[in-house]
Structure 1
Amino acid sequence: MPSDSSDDDMPLAKPKHVSAATVTASADRKMDKSISKARPAPPGLSIRNGPIDDRMDIDSGPNGTIKRKSRNSTGQTVKYKEESDSDDAAPLAKRQKSKHLPPSIKDTATLESSDDDQPLGTKIAQRKADIEKAAAKEAKAIRADAKAKKATPRKAIKDESDDEPLAKPKKRQSNGVTSAKKANGVKKEDSDSDAPISKKAKKAAPVTKGKAAQAAKNGKGAAKAVKAESKDNSEGEEEEEYRWWDAPKKEDDSVKWNTLEHSGVLFPPAYEPLPKNVKLYYDGQAVNMHVDAEEVATFFGSMLHSTQNVENPVFQKNFFADFKDILKKTGGAKTSDGKAIDIKDFKKLDFTKIFEHYKALSDAKKARPAAEKKAEKAEKDEAEAPFMYCKWDGRKEKVGNFRVEPPGLFRGRGEHPKTGTVKKRVLPEQVTINIGKDATVPTPPPGHKWKAVQHDNKATWLAMWQENVNGNYKYVMLAANSTVKGQADFKKFEKARELKKHIDRIRSDYTRELKSEVMADRQRATAMYLIDKFALRAGNEKDTENEAETVGCCSLKFEHVTLREPSTVIFDFLGKDSIRFYNEFSVDRQVFKNLKMFKKAPKEDGDDIFDRLNTSQLNKHLSSYMQGLTAKVFRTYNASWTMSQLLQKLKVEDRTIPEKIKLYNDCNREVAILCNHKRTVGAGHEAQMEKLGDRIKGLKYQKWRSKMMMLDLDPKLKKKKGAEFFELDPELDQEWIEQHQQFLAKELKEKIEKKFEKDNEKLVAEKKSKLPAKELKERLKAVSELEAKHKKENRTKKVEADGRGASVEKLTTAIEKLDDRIRTLEMQSADREGNKEVALGTSKINYIDPRLTVVFSAKFEVPIEKFFSKTLRDKFNWAIQSVGDDDTWEF
C-alpha cells in the first residue's frame, strides 16, 4: 500500500462538479415539472437594485429543503461602502400636464405613463420588445437592400449614395462616414485597431471661427460650434485641423506613425521631509526613522480624513506590512535618544501630528491670495508645456497622461485585495521610451537613464513602465481628442452599427439553442441571452491571489446566482473594478429553467455555472456571424440602437431649449434602464437635492415678495387678479421663510466681505494703501438693514416696493422671468432625481454613438454644448465634424 504521509499537509482539492454533456429528454421534463406554474413577470426587466436579503435565498437544496447561501464575496463592500436601498414608491415617469409645465420635482420622467391600469413593468417590457422587433425588421431590410444592390448592375448604382436611411428620400451625406452599409462593409476588421478609416466622401472645407461662433450663437450647426483650428502654444501659430475621417486609407494598417517626436514624461517632485517638530508616534513615543520610511508614514497620515480607506482592515494590514518592510530595510525606528523601537502593533501608531501638518499646509494653500495662486499656475503650466504635445507624422497631437503617478498608497476599487499597498516611486530606469528613429531622445533627469529606447511604429504609446502593486504596465498615450483615440472610438461604434445587420439572426439562433440537447450549446445560448438582454460583461479568469476576484457572465459561480420562482434571477458578485453588481432580473422561462439546471445538485459554492463555456469560445462563436464581433459589442449596439429609436419618436415642436434637453436626458435615462446601466445612489445626492429644492423655494419666495410689492403699489390689483394670485406658496411655511431670510443675510455679508477683500488685493497689487476697517463696517450696514426689513415684513405681512422706478409693469416682467427660472430648476431637479441610480455619463461617453447626439442637436437647434462638455466636444470632434448639420444621419 503506498504511503499517504506525504499528503498529510496538502490541502484537499475542492471537487469540481460539471454539468452533463447532453440534456436528455427525461431530464428536461423533470426540470419542467420543478418549475413553478405561477405567472411570471415580463422578461427582460430589472426588478430592483440594492442589497440582498435573506428572504431571497430560496434555491432548493438536494433534498428539496431551503438552502441559504453565504455571501463571502461581498462582505467587505457592504461594510465599507454601504449601498442604499431605494424605497421610493414614486413611479418612474409621469406625463407632463401641459407642454409648458415640468413634472414634479420627485417625478422621474423616463417612460410616458397613461391612465390605464397596465403595470409600469409591463410597459417597459413592451417598449423593450418593440425596440427589439424594430431591430429585427431593420436587419432584414438591410440585408434585403444589400442583396438587391448586389444583383443590380454596377452602372445603375454607381452614382447612388449607400448611406441613405431606409424609407427616406436619397440625400447625399457630407459626413465622410458614407453609410451604414458602406462604412460597415468596406473593411471588415477583427480588432479595434487604430488604423485610419477609408472614406468615400470628398474632403470638406474647414469650418472657420466666425462661422462656428455664429452657429453657436444661433443654436444651429452643432458641429460648427467646435473650433476647426487648434492653436500651437509653442510656436504661436495656427495649423489646420487634421480631418482623418476624410483622409485616404493607409496602405499598411499596422503602421501607426512614420515620424514621432515627444519630450518623454514628467516625474513628480521629490519628497520634502517633515519639520523636526512633526513626528509619527508609537505607543506615545515620538519615532525617528529614515526619510524613505518617513515618506511612507506620511502616505497614511495625510489621508486620515478618508475613513473609508484608513479604517478598512485590509487597507491597514497591507500598509502596515509594507511600512514594517521598509523600516527594516532602512535601519528601523528609534526614539529621540537613539533607542530602537520594535513597531509590531498597528493600533499603537498615532499619525495625528502628520495629518494636522498636511491639513495646515492644505488650508494655507487654499487661503493664498489669488495673485499668488495665479503665479503658481503659470509656473506649473510652463513646466508642463513641453510634455503636453507631441509631433505625430508632423502633426501636433495632445498627449493624454504624461505625468508619472506620484508614490502613495494604492486604493483600488471595491474589495481589491491589495488596497493599502505602497505604490513605489517610479524611476527613469523603469521607463521605456518609444520614439521615431530620427527624433531627439528626451533627456532623463540628471543622474538617471532610461530603461530602454525603442522605435516601434506599430505601437501607439509614447512611454511605458511597470508598476509594483499589481505588476500592470502603465502607458503614456495620446489624449482622448487625438486622431488615434478618435479612430478607435469611430471603429467601436461602426462595429456596433455593423451588428444591426445580424442581430435578428443572432437572437433567433440563441433563442432556439436555449432548448438544445447539447449542454455546451445550451449554456452558450443562455450566456448570450444574459449578455444581450442585461448588458452583463463576458468575464475572464483572474489571478485571485494578485487581483480582485471579479466576475463576468462566463465566470459566474454557483453562489453568484440565486433563483426565485417563477422567473426571477438574482445576481450578486464583484464586477469590473471590483464594483459590486447586484440586480434582480425577470427572465424568459426557458432561461430560468436552464439556470436551475446549471445549478443542479451536486453543484455547490465554488462551482461554475457555465462549466462548459469560456469567453474565448463565446467570442469565437460570435465571430462566425460577423468578423470582429465580441460580447462587448452588444453593450454598445443595444445602447446606441435604443437611443436612436427613442430619439426618432420624440415630439419636440414648440419646446423650449431646457425642455428639449430634458427630453434628450429622458431618452438617455431610458437607455440606461432598458440596458441596465445602473449605479449606486451617491452619498451626497440627498443633500444636493435638498439644496436645489431650497433654491427653487427661494425663487418662489422672491416671486411672492414681488407680487406683494405690486399690491403695495396698487392695492386694487387684489380684486382684479384675485386673492389666490397673491397667496403664499404652500411649501413656504413661516419657519422656512425665517431660515431663508437668515441665509440671505449671511449670503449678503459674505458677498460684502469677499468684495472688500478683493478690493484690497487690487489696491496692494497697484501698490496703494488698503481700505480702512471702518469702510467694511460701513458696507456691512446693508446686512443690518436687510434683517430689519425682513423682521418688519414678518410682523406686518406686507412688503414695501423697493428699487428705483418700481412699477407694476416691471414687477410683472420680473415675475415672468422668475417663473422661467423656477421651471428650469424644477426640470433640473426632476432630471437629477431620475438620474440618481442611472449612469447617464457612462452611457453617453462609452455606449451611445455620439453622432446621435450631434444629429439631435442639429435637428432641434440645441447647442451641442448643452450635451457635451468641452472635454467631450474635443473627444467627439470627429462625430461633430463628420455629421455636421446633416440631421438625416441614422445609427
Structure 2
Amino acid sequence: MSSNKGISNNQQRVDLDDIPLSQRLTNPRFAKRRSVRSDDSSSDSESDSSSSEDDVPLAKRILPIKKIIKQDTVKQETIKQETITQGRIRQEPSKKATVKDESDSEDDIPLSMKKQLKEPKAEPMDVDKPSKKRPATSAASSPVKREKKVKKEEDDPDLYKWWEEEQLPTEMEHDDSVKWTSLQHNGVLFPPEYVPHGVKMKYDGKPISLSPEAEEVASFFAALLETEHAANPVFQKNFFEDWKQVLKRDPKNPKITSFEKCDFRPIWEKFERDKEAKKLLTKEQKMKIKQEREKAEEKYLYAIVDGRKEKVGNFRIEPPALFRGRGNHPKTGKLKTRVLPEQVTLNLGIDAVIPEPPKGHKWAAVVHDQTATWLATWKENVNGAIKYVFLAATSTWKGQSDMQKFEKARELKKYVKTIRANYTRELKDKLSEVRQRATAMYLIDRLALRAGNEKGDDEADTVGCCSLRYEHIKLEPPNTLHFDFLGKDSIRYQNTVQVDTQVFKNIKIFKNQVGEGHMIFDRLTPSELNKYLNNCMKGLSAKVFRTFNASITFQQQVDLLTNPDDSVPDKLLSYNRANREVAILCNHQRSASKTHDQMISRIGDRIRALKYQRMKLRKQLYALDAKMKKKPEYAEPESDLEEDWIKEHEKELVQKERERIKSRFEKQNEKLAAEKQPKLTAADLKEKLKAADELADRLKRESKLAKIEPKASVTIEKLVAQIKKVDERIYATKNQATDKEENKEVALGTSKLNYIDPRITVAWCRKNGVPLEKVFSKTLMDKFRWAQKIPKDWTF
C-alpha cells in the first residue's frame, strides 16, 4: 500500500485489495482475531479512510462477534539462536471426477516434521562422549540428505521439464483441443477376489452359515463394529437393506429379518486376531509381502504419452465396501459393489496395444479420445458418480493445469478493483436479479464462500453461497449476519460478521420474499454467476476468486508475521500461522484428534527428556569450571524436572538400554546364522546386559551429586556446544507443541495443496533461508516442481 506525502493522514485513500483478507474476515470457530483500532491512523496496515463508507477498509466494517478458540496454550521460551508438452489442456468436469483428499495423508506431513515426531531419543549415557554414528542434530542433517534426493530426482532423464520450455500455455482451456497424439497404458488394477474366511456370525444367538457373497458383505460391517459408523442408525439401516438383498440371491442363506438379532462380533474378533498376527510378522515377511504387492502394481505405475513416461495416479479400482460418506450423508452404509472390467472404459491411442482384462472378462469399451486426459472411467453404484483414472499430480498435464490455475488467480489482481466497484454499485440496483448477484459476489469475495449448487434428496444437504436457504442466515440489526450451514464435505460453517449496511438490507429483503426452507438467492444460479464473472474477466469463476483470496491472504500474512532475524523454528511457526489464516478463511476444518492430548503430553515428555539431558551436561560443566554455574545461561534450574519424574525417566532409560542390547544381540545371531557361524549364547547376552546394570548404578550415583565428573576427552568448549544444541532442540520442540495446539481443529494441507500458490512458499523459503522440505512434503515437492524455478524476487 502506498501513501502520498502531500496528503494528510485523514485524506489518504485505502484500496480494499490492499487490506489483508484475513483482517477483513472472521471465523470464530477457530481463532480470535486481532482487534482493529479505528483511531490508529498511523498504522501501516490500516490507513485512515476517505469520507466514503464504501472506501472504508473491510477490516473496519467486518468485525468478529464470537470468539471460541483459545489462543496459544503453550508458553514460549525466549531463546535467541542463529539458527509445466506444449499444447493445450482441458480440465475434466470436477463434479464427476473423484479426487482423493490428500489433506490427511501422511505424505502431507513435511519430512522434517516426521523426523521430529520420532525424536529425540534422549540417551544421557552418551552425552559425555562424542557421537560418531549420527550428526549433531537431525535438523542440521535432514536438509542436506533431502536436497541430495531432490537433486537426484531432477536429474532423472525421463523427467520432462515442461516449465523450462520457451513457450508456456498462458491460460486454462476447456475446449475440445487435442491433448495428445499417442497414449499407451496398462489399464487399471482390480482388487483381488474375495476369499471366504468361514467364521460364523450369530443370529438370534446361534451360529449361521453364509454364502461367500453374503459373508463378504457381513464382514464389511463387522470390520467397522467398534467405530462410530456401526453405531449410526442410518448406516445400520442402509447396510441391512442392501445385505438382505444379497442374502436373497442364494437360497442356502438363512432368513434374516432383524438387525438387532445379528451378532457380528465373531467376525470382528477374527479380524482383531489377524491384526495382532500381522504385527508379529518378521521384517523379512513384511518385506516379502511388500515386494509381491509392488510387483503386482509395477506395470500400472506409468503411461507413455507422446513418447514421454508419465506416472499414473489412482490406477487401483476401489474394492467393494460400505459407503461412508462425509457428515450426515443419507446413503452412508450402502453397499459399494465390486467394479468389473465390463463396467470400465479405457482411453488409448489408436495404435496402442489394448491391455488384457482379467481372465473371463472384457472391457466395456476402448475409445481413442484425444481431447480427454483421462485413462479409464466407470460409474460407481452408490451415487452414480463417474470415476476417472488420471495421470498423477506430478505429471505434465496436472502440473500445467496447476500453474494455469494459479496464473489465472494472479491475473485477477488486474481486475479486482473494478469488479468490486461494480458489485458495490449494483447492491442498490432496481432489479432484484442484479442485487442478488451483487450481494452473492460480496459474500463470495469477502467470506471466500463456494458458489454452491442444488442437491438432490439422496445427497448430503450441503450448500454454497447461491444455494443458501432462509434458515442458514440469521439477522441481527443493525448489520450483523450469523451464518450456520453445511459446506462441502458436510463441514459445518459457522461465522458471525458485520457487513455493509446495504448487504444487510438486501439479505433481509430476500429472506422476506421467500420464507423458511427456500433459497435466499432464488433468482441466481452458480452457472449464471460464473457466466457474469467470465464477462468481467475471461476464465473468471467463483473458484478463481477463492484461489485468489487464499493466495493473496497468505502472501500478506506470511510477509507480516515473518521476522527475518528469527530462528528457523520461529519462521516455520509464522509460516504455519499464515497458512492457518487461509485455512480458516476457506473453512478447512477438522475434528480434534482423539489422541491430541496424549500427543501434546508426549511432546512435553520429550521436552523434559531434553532438559534432563541438559541438566546432566551442566553438571559436567560445573565439574570442569565452577564459575560456569554463575553464568545465567548455564545456571538456570530445570524447574519442571520433578524428582519422581526423574526416577521414572531413568528407569525408562535403563529399560530402553536393555531392549537395545537384546535387539542388537538378536541381529548379531541372525547375521551369524546367515554366515553359518556359531551363535552367541545366553551367557553372552547376560554379559552384555551388564552394561544396562552399570548404567542404572551410574544414574543412581549421579542423581545425588551436584557435579558429574566428565571423561578426560570432554572439554568446556564441547560441553557448551552440546548444551547449545540441546537448547535449540528444546526450542524447536516447544514450537512444535504450539503449532500442533493451534492446528488441532484446522486442516492446513488442503489450502497448501489446492489454494495457495506454491511459488509464494518457494520464494518465502529462499528469502528466509528455510529449506523447502521443511514446509513441503515429498508429495508436494514432486507436485510443484514447476514452482521451484521462479526468480528470487517473485511475489503473488
Q: What TM-score does the superposition give when structure 1 sets the normalisation length?
A: 0.71
SS in structure 2 at match of 1:563 = strand
Q: 1:369 touches 1:761 (CA, 8 Å); kept in 2?
A: no
Q: 1:255 aligns with which of 171, 174, 178?
A: 178
Matched, 1:550 2:462: yes
Matches within 5 A, 1:519-534: 519-534=432-447
- AA aligned to 1:734 is E
The unaligned stretches of length 5 or more in structure 2 are 1-21, 32-65, 95-141
Q: 1:45 aligns with which of 25, 28, 31?
A: 25
Show the counterpart of 2:13.
none
Show the counterpart of 2:522.
611
Q: 2:628 touches 2:634 (CA, 8 Å); kept in 1?
A: no
Distance in 1 (CA, whole Å) between partners of 2:75 and 2:506 is 37
Matched, 1:319 2:239: yes
Q: 1:417 touches 1:548 (CA, 8 Å); kept in 2?
A: yes
Per-residue deviation, 1:611: 1.6
CA-atom RMSD in angstroms: 3.5
Show the counterpart of 2:153.
227
Q: 1:389 touches 1:399 (CA, 8 Å); kept in 2?
A: yes
Q: 2:335 aligns with which of 392, 412, 422?
A: 422
Matched, 1:469 2:392: no
Per-residue deviation, 1:712: 4.1
Matches within 5 A, 1:558-573: 558-573=470-485
Per-residue deviation, 1:871: 1.2
Per-residue deviation, 1:649: 5.1
Matched, 1:372 2:285: yes
Show the counterpart of 1:683.
594
Distance in 1 (CA, whole Å) between partners of 2:506 and 2:591 is 30
Per-residue deviation, 1:249: 6.8
Relative to 1, partners in 2 of residues 1:602 and 1:435: Cα closer, same or farther, differing over 3 Å? closer
Matched, 1:293 2:214: yes
Matches within 5 A, 1:678-757: 678-715=589-626, 717-718=628-629, 720-721=630-631, 725-726=634-635, 728-757=637-666
Q: 2:79 touches 2:731 (CA, 8 Å); kept in 1?
A: no
Relative to 1, partners in 2 of residues 1:253 and 1:456: Cα closer, same or farther, differing over 3 Å? closer
Matched, 1:875 2:778: no
Show the counterpart of 2:512.
600
Can you list the C-alpha shifts for 1:375-414, whole angstroms capped at 9, x where unaligned?
2222221221111001101111100011111111111111
Matches within 5 A, 1:395-406: 395-406=308-319
Distance in 2 (CA, whole Å) between partners of 1:367 and 1:382 is 24
Matches within 5 A, 1:194-233: 225=151, 227-230=153-156
Distance in 1 (CA, whole Å) between partners of 2:533 and 2:262 is 56
Can you list the C-alpha shifts for 1:594-631, whole angstroms capped at 9, x where unaligned?
32333237712x12121222111211221121012111
Q: 1:709 touches 1:801 (CA, 8 Å); kept in 2?
A: yes
SS in structure 1 at match of 2:26 = strand
Q: 1:500 aligns with which of 394, 413, 426?
A: 413
Show the counterpart of 2:191.
268
- Give the greater-gyration-radius structure (CA): 1
- AA aligned to 1:295 is E
Per-residue deviation, 1:319: 1.0
Per-residue deviation, 1:550: 1.3
Q: 2:590 touches 2:746 (CA, 8 Å); kept in 1?
A: yes
- AA aligned to 1:317 is K
Distance in 2 (CA, whole Å) between partners of 1:363 and 1:802 is 45
**Alignment coverage as a number of residue pairs:** 691
Q: 2:158 aligns with which of 216, 239, 244?
A: 239
Can you list the C-alpha shifts for 1:546-600, whole angstroms capped at 9, x where unaligned?
x212111111112222234454422222211222223333333333333233323
Per-residue deviation, 1:225: 4.5
Q: 1:696 touches 1:826 (CA, 8 Å); kept in 2?
A: yes
Distance in 1 (CA, whole Å) between partners of 2:287 and 2:676 is 18
Show the counterpart of 1:576.
488
Show the counterpart of 1:671.
582
Relative to 1, partners in 2 of residues 1:509 and 1:279: Cα closer, same or farther, differing over 3 Å? same
Can you list the C-alpha shifts for 1:835-877, whole angstroms capped at 9, x where unaligned?
2333322111111111111222333333222222221111111
SS in structure 2 at match of 1:258 = coil
Relative to 1, partners in 2 of residues 1:517 and 1:94: Cα closer, same or farther, differing over 3 Å? farther
Show the counterpart of 1:125.
none
Can you list the C-alpha shifts for 1:338-386, whole angstroms capped at 9, x where unaligned?
xxx4311112211222112222222222321112222222222122111
Distance in 1 (CA, whole Å) between partners of 2:165 and 2:429 is 48
Distance in 2 (CA, whole Å) between partners of 1:569 and 1:87 is 17
Matched, 1:452 2:365: yes
Per-residue deviation, 1:731: 2.3
- AA aligned to 1:514 is L
Q: 1:514 aligns with which of 399, 404, 427?
A: 427
Q: 1:619 touches 1:631 (CA, 8 Å); kept in 2?
A: yes
Per-residue deviation, 1:632: 0.9
Q: 2:437 touches 2:529 (CA, 8 Å); kept in 1?
A: yes
Q: 1:636 touches 1:848 (CA, 8 Å); kept in 2?
A: yes
Distance in 2 (CA, whole Å) between partners of 1:359 and 1:91 is 39
Percent identity of equivalent pairs: 50
Show the counterpart of 1:805.
713
Distance in 1 (CA, whole Å) between partners of 2:77 and 2:622 is 32
Distance in 2 (CA, whole Å) between partners of 1:564 and 1:738 is 59
Q: 2:348 aligns with which of 430, 435, 452?
A: 435
Q: 1:575 touches 1:581 (CA, 8 Å); kept in 2?
A: yes
Q: 2:428 touches 2:435 (CA, 8 Å); kept in 1?
A: yes
- AA aligned to 1:468 is N
Q: 1:223 touches 1:864 (CA, 8 Å); kept in 2?
A: no
Q: 2:336 touches 2:382 (CA, 8 Å); kept in 1?
A: yes
Distance in 2 (CA, whole Å) between partners of 1:748 and 1:431 is 56
SS in structure 2 at match of 1:438 = coil
Relative to 1, partners in 2 of residues 1:799 and 1:565: Cα closer, same or farther, differing over 3 Å? farther
Matched, 1:586 2:566: no
Relative to 1, partners in 2 of residues 1:46 and 1:678: Cα closer, same or farther, differing over 3 Å? farther
Can you list the C-alpha shifts for 1:80-132, whole angstroms capped at 9, x where unaligned?
xxxxx996543699999685499xxxxxxxxxxxxxxxxxxxxxxxxxxxxxx
Distance in 2 (CA, whole Å) between partners of 1:659 and 1:510 is 41
Show the counterpart of 2:111.
none
Distance in 2 (CA, whole Å) between partners of 1:594 and 1:501 is 28
Matched, 1:888 2:796: no
Can you list the C-alpha shifts for 1:289-328, whole angstroms capped at 9, x where unaligned?
21111111111112324x1111111111111111111001
Distance in 2 (CA, whole Å) between partners of 1:745 and 1:507 is 67
SS in structure 2 at match of 1:390 = strand
Distance in 1 (CA, whole Å) between partners of 2:73 and 2:537 is 37
| Worse-superposed segment, 436-445 or 586-595 | 586-595
Show the counterpart of 1:837.
745
Q: 2:72 touches 2:741 (CA, 8 Å); kept in 1?
A: no
Relative to 1, partners in 2 of residues 1:86 and 1:245: Cα closer, same or farther, differing over 3 Å? same
Q: 2:590 touches 2:747 (CA, 8 Å); kept in 1?
A: yes
- AA aligned to 2:794 is W
Q: 1:43 touches 1:586 (CA, 8 Å); kept in 2?
A: no
Per-residue deviation, 1:696: 1.2
Distance in 2 (CA, whole Å) between partners of 1:355 and 1:772 is 42
